[in-house]
Amino acid sequence: METTNQQSIIKKKNVVIAGPCSAESEEQLITTATELAQYGKVDVLRAGIWKPRTNPGGFEGIGTKGLPWLLKAKQLTGLKTAVEVATPKHVEDALSFEVDVLWIGARTAVNPFSVQQIADALKGTKQTVLIKNPINPDLKLWMGAVERIATAGIDDIGLIHRGFSSYGNTEYRNVPLWQIPIEMKRLLPDLPVICDPSHICGNRTKLHAVAQKSVDLDFDGLIIESHYNPEIALTDKSQQVTPANLASLLGKLIYKRQDSDDAAFLQQLENLREQINHLDEELLTVIGNRMAIAREIGEIKQRNSVTVLQSNRYNEILNRVIQKGEENGLSERFVKTYIEAIHIESIRIQNEHQNRLSQQSEA
Ligand code: PEP
Ligand code: MN
């Protein structure tokens, strides 16, 4: 077993956390845990005990009654255990049943009051804590939650990337916005980042692709929901997989090396990277030239009392570049994001320039 720190299960490279969305009954939990343990690919058994549900009236978790089942599953299988905590009482109860890993859910991570209460309850313990990204794509809020837990004296902290809520997206239940966990990894390089394909996907179809992508991004582990019989699951039934299917999914993942010392490969990589650096510089020069022209346009618009934004023109640019992008093998989604960024900056520059001109003429 490759571990960097014997004490910390979440720092085991490619750690796998799996188990049902919710603990439902002793039989369900023990059966699922036993099957998961049989395949030898899972390190930690997860189970939601208290469930934050979007709508009231559904199954809101079995509550403290489920904690002895989790402890029994741990004793039977040797798997470590993980539960979600949202209040100080949850922390206290989970710790009294020897839960190894606590996680703060996405709906709790958005609320600094709740996170602080959990942090206060954790003071003086040596607990392992995973912090899910808040449901909204707010990197600072996620960082803030980490800081609150760290300030309480907890030093075994990891992150869970579970995607972000969005309105009307049908491809994912929660859009991954990979750039956010990538940025968290850059800012907090010592914290393991664990990907939660189950809550990103919301169904089973893309689980493998999302898991593989997190592996390719050198994320540190996976948390995947698994139920011995997903069809009868009380929560998140369409995204849970059987332990056998989970084992097969994990078996298909291709783990790559972080680096290689092969001389030919390194030389080739360096050449290509040099070309990339060169092109990046060219792109920035071209964008700078484009902004200079935008400034000039701002000036003549000002002189002729014409508004900075002209929607027709923007539509025309958008259609042109999408078409050009397609000819160059660039996706519509990328071209749109790119031109939006350029356009917003161009408007900002025009405004700034016009304000400067008006101040000069007033002076
Ligand atoms: C869960 O893990 O079952 C859960 C409720 O997740 P999230 O907080 O990511 O919605
Ligand atoms: Mn769930």
Q: Tokens in use for 245?
A: 């299917």
Question: What confidence score (pLDDT) does residue 358 get?
Answer: 86
Nearest-atom number in ligand 1 for the CA of 106 is: 8
Burial of 294 (0-12, 13-18, 19+ CB in 10 A): buried
Mutate to test the pocket of ligand 1, among 132, 141, 222, 225 (most ligand atoms within 8 A of CB): 132
pLDDT digits (tens, 9 = 90+) for 48-69: 999 988 888 889 999 999 999 9
Q: Which domains does the chain have, with CATH numbers?
A: 15-252 (3.20.20.70), 263-362 (1.20.59.10)
pLDDT digits (tens, 9 = 90+) for 264-315: 999 999 999 999 999 999 999 999 999 999 999 989 988 998 888 888 888 9
Nearest-atom number in ligand 1 for the CA of 105 is: 8
Residues of the chain where predicted confidence (pLDDT) is lower than 70:
1-6, 169
H/E stretch holding 159 reads strand 156-161
Cα of 171 vs centre of ligand 2, distance in Å, is: 18
Mutate to test the pocket of ligand 1, among 53, 84, 130, 225 (most ligand atoms within 8 A of CB): 84
The CB of 162 under 6 Å from ligand 1? The reply is yes
Task: Count CA atoms within 13 Å of residue 232 on its CB side.
Answer: 8
Question: What confidence score (pLDDT) does residue 70 get?
Answer: 98
Cα of 224 vs centre of ligand 2, distance in Å, is: 9
Q: Tokens in use for 288?
A: 């700078």
The CB of 230 under 6 Å from ligand 1? The reply is no
Question: What confidence score (pLDDT) does residue 6 get?
Answer: 60
Q: Name the residue with the closest Cα to ligand 1, atom 4.
A: 105
Three-state SS string over 204-228 comes to CCCHHHHHHHHHHCCCCEEEEEECC
Measure Cα distances from 169 to 29, 175, 204, 220 in Å.
32, 8, 17, 27
